[in-house]
Chain A
Amino acid sequence: MNRISDRILVGLTWLSGIGMCMVVTGLLLFLIFHGIRQITPALFFGDTPWLKAITGQSPVFDGIWPAVTGTVLLVFLSSAIAVPVGVASGIYLAAYASSRQRAFWGSMVDLLSGTPSIVMGLFGFTMILFLRKTVNPTAQTGLFLAAVCIALLILPYLIRTSQAAIAGISTHLRLIGPAAGFSKWQNIRHVLLPLASRGILSGIILAVGRASEDTAVILLTGVVAQTGIPRNIWDKFEALPFRIYYLAAEHRNATELEQGFAVALVLLFLTGFLFAIAFLLNRYAENRWRIRRYQ
């Protein structure tokens, strides 16, 4: 009896694993099949020579290059805001908060993570309206506002994963520092954070993925179909997910629809690239933490 249920369970786990791989492969193949033909220099840069486009010497009107830079800027800006805040909140919840504070703030974080992204967008939008009526009549939606709203969106992932990563460290390891005379902060800085870095990284990866794909937030906070590379962080910007949405919803011919698939592929590889950066940074930090003594 036990053996049979055991085998069924093993079979099921295998099936889910295989199913999962098949779905991902299927998705990739589908995108490649429909989009690969459109992945050309023209898709990125239109008629502009690529070197001039990349160095910013001449604007790109017909390609997705501005959308690529827009998305990259958006991800970096929102991560720059959300990662320090999120990790610090995670540290607070795991190491400083009393159990009552932890329950209260934890439910707040859950609430934030349950908030639909369109609500975050509306929040940003209302904020601009408010600013216009009060201190700054020329306030406008733009890259910075979008980054702030995206940061709010990804904050819960960062908080929860860092909290879990720190709380998951065994008591044996947590006691080593204090027993040697570390202050609470020294223990966090030299023991807990290094040991939790892998978990924190997984939160950052989730957050980066979420930041690069969200459309609802930026729709209301400054994305436009065509504006070129933003000149500063208050400027309007283009973004890949919006480009995909736009191409899919308003395509005039089959080529444009194929372009939509191609852009989706580009977005996928861009996020993969960002993950790789996060991973390499973490590995570098881990090597430093684990082996080198810092002088």
Chain B
Amino acid sequence: MEPAVVISNLEVLFFGKAVLKDIHLSLWPGRITVLVGPSGSGKSTLLRAINRLNEFFPDCQTRGSVSLHLQNQYHGDIYQNTIPLSDLRRRVGMVFQTPAVLPFSIEKNITMPLQVTVGLTGSALTERMTRALQEVALWDEVKDRLKSSANTLSGGQQQRLCLARVLALEPQILLLDEPTASLDYKSAARIESLLLNLKERYTILAISHSLSQTRRIADRVCVLRQGQLIQEMDRNDMADIRTFQGLMEAAF
């Protein structure tokens, strides 16, 4: 099987200073790759390099290439404009580190992006929204208050709403920046099992700060330090908790 994303020789600079350098990384469909590393090591920046969201910030330069191979539809380097930017970002869904819901109604948080980018209306729209909310296990909690403001949701509910918003757009690659950061144990476990289900259909790259969580969900772990990928581990390295911890401690 060929990888869905091939990053080679990637370098990202903010204000002339390299935040990521010499990154080589491939992501395969059906696997969860977890990115770990100290704060400020460039994890979020690496995620944003895959949907070209770094360009949103002033004075950011990207060098090297990020190639997508999506179900025989797109082949090519996203930085060479082979894929229209809006298509790229819809196919590469991203959930942010801090859950950001729009101060609109719960329903509109999901339906508005669908209407604007996909042009869905009517019952197809309702169906898509319902399915996304069910998938993130939020439906039962919000089905009676779809019209109330998303700001009234708890932090964890907001995070699930963000995930639902992304899933509703039916992307092929998922970039998750600490998807369980503000969740309690039970909701986190639910998201984890959701991710394990989703991985059949998606190519997933997630950031996590929790080593135990990493062990539970990761097929592969990449360690980032000071903008460089310094180590990769697969399931075998993680099988024994002691060797895994030893490897991680050496890495950090």
A24 in the interface (beta carbon within 8 A): no
Contact of B121 among A176, A177, A183, A295 (CB under 8 A): A295
B94 in the interface (beta carbon within 8 A): yes
Give A168-204 interface residues, CB cut-off 8 Å to B: 170, 172-183, 186, 190-191, 194-195
On whether A190 and B116 interact (CB within 8 A), knowing A175-B56, A180-B169, the answer reads yes
Secondary structure at chain A's binding surface: helix, strand, loop or mixed?
helix
Q: How far is the CA of A181 from the CA of B114 in the complex (A)?
A: 10
Q: How far is the CA of A170 from the CA of B111 in the complex (A)?
A: 22
B149 close to A290 (CB less than 8 A): yes
B100 close to A175 (CB less than 8 A): yes
Q: Which residues of A contact B87 (CB under 8 A)?
A: 181
Q: Which residue of B lies closest to A98 (CB)?
A: B58
B172 in the interface (beta carbon within 8 A): no
On whether A291 and B147 interact (CB within 8 A), knowing A173-B100, A176-B102, A183-B86, the answer reads yes
Q: Which residues of A contact B115 (CB under 8 A)?
A: 293-294
Q: Which residue of A lies closest to B109 (CB)?
A: A176
Q: Which residues of B contact A134 (CB under 8 A)?
A: none
Contact of B117 among A170, A173, A181, A194 (CB under 8 A): A181
B113 close to A291 (CB less than 8 A): no
Q: Which residues of B contact A195 (CB under 8 A)?
A: 102-103
Size class of the B contact interface (CB-based, 8 Å): 35 or more
Q: How far is the CA of A194 from the CA of B102 in the complex (A)?
A: 10
Q: Which residues of B contact A138 (CB under 8 A)?
A: none
Size class of the A contact interface (CB-based, 8 Å): 20 to 34
Give B138-154 interface residues, CB cut-off 8 Å to A: 147, 149
B108 close to A292 (CB less than 8 A): yes
B89 close to A172 (CB less than 8 A): no
On whether A289 and B169 interact (CB within 8 A), knowing A180-B117, A190-B116, the answer reads no
B211 in the interface (beta carbon within 8 A): no
B130 in the interface (beta carbon within 8 A): no
B159 in the interface (beta carbon within 8 A): no
A2 in the interface (beta carbon within 8 A): no
B53 close to A175 (CB less than 8 A): yes
Give A222-260 interface residues, CB cut-off 8 Å to B: none
Q: Contact string, B75-107, partner A, CB cutoff 8 A, digits 1/0?
A: 000000000011111100110101010111101
A190 close to B112 (CB less than 8 A): yes
CB distance from A98 to the nearest CB of B (A): 9
Give B185-242 interface residues, CB cut-off 8 Å to A: none
Q: How far is the CA of A190 from the CA of B111 in the complex (A)?
A: 12
A99 in the interface (beta carbon within 8 A): yes
B104 close to A181 (CB less than 8 A): no
B56 close to A180 (CB less than 8 A): no
On whether A181 and B105 interact (CB within 8 A), knowing A175-B56, A290-B149, the answer reads no
CB distance from A121 to the nearest CB of B (A): 41
Q: How far is the CA of A182 from the CA of B51 in the complex (A)?
A: 13
Selected A-B contacts with CB under 8 Å, 8 pairs? A175-B100, A176-B102, A177-B113, A179-B53, A181-B169, A183-B86, A191-B102, A291-B105
* Interface contacts beyond A172-B98, A172-B100: sample of 15 additional A-B pairs, CB < 8 Å, sorted by A: A175-B100, A178-B56, A179-B51, A181-B117, A181-B169, A182-B113, A182-B116, A195-B102, A290-B103, A290-B105, A290-B108, A293-B107, A293-B108, A293-B115, A295-B121
